[in-house]
Amino acid sequence: MVIDTHKCVGCKDCVVACKTENSVPEGYCRDWITEEARGAFPTIQLELRSERCNHCENPPCVHCCPTGASHVHEPGGVVLVTHEKCIGCKACLGACPYDARFINPEGYADKCTFCIHRVEKGLDPACVSVCPTHCMTFGDIDDPLSKVNQLLASRRHHTLLPEAGTKPKIYYLT
Partner 1 sequence: MTELFTLKHNPLVDPAMHIWAWQIPVYLFLGGLVAGLMILSGYHIIRDRYDTDRPHGHYVTAPMLSVALLSLGMLALFFDLEHKIEVWRLYMTFEVTSPMSWGSWILLLVYPVLIASALLNFQEAQPRLAARYPTVAGVAEAMRSRPGVASLIGFANIALGAGLGIYTGILLSSLAARPLWSSALLGPLFLFSGLSTGAATLHMLTHIEKGEDNSYGDFLVASMVGWIRPKHGEHEGAVKLAHADNGFLTIELSILMLFLINLSGSSAAGHDAAALLLTGPYAAVFWVFVVGSGLVIPLILQGLQAANRIRPTMIPALLVLVGGLVLRFVLVYAGQASHWPRIAGF
> What is the binding site for partner 1 (CB under 8 A)?
5, 12, 15, 27-29, 32-40, 45, 47, 49, 51, 60, 63-69, 84-91, 93-97, 99, 101-103, 106-108, 158, 160-161, 163-165, 172, 174
Q: How far is the CB of 36 from partner 1 (least distance, A)?
A: 5
Give 101 or 118: the residue with its C-beta nearer to partner 1.
Answer: 101
How far are the Cα atoms of 7, 65, 73, 118, 126 from residue 76, in angstroms, in the given order?
A: 26, 20, 7, 13, 17
Q: How far is the CB of 10 from partner 1 (least distance, A)?
A: 9
How far is it, in rounded angstroms, from Cα 65 to Cα 91? 7
Q: How far is the CB of 92 from partner 1 (least distance, A)?
A: 9
Give 34 or 133: the residue with its C-beta nearer to partner 1.
Answer: 34
Between CA 102 and CA 108, with CA 105 as vertex, the angle to 5 degrees is 60
Q: How far is the CB of 146 from partner 1 (least distance, A)?
A: 24
Q: Are 162 and 152 in contact (CB under 8 A)?
A: no
Give 69 or 127: the residue with its C-beta nearer to partner 1.
Answer: 69
Residue 123: count other Cβ atoms within 10 Å of its Cβ. 13
34-39, Cβ contacts within 8 angstroms, sequence gap of 24 or more:
35/10
Give 74 or 163: the residue with its C-beta nearer to partner 1.
Answer: 163
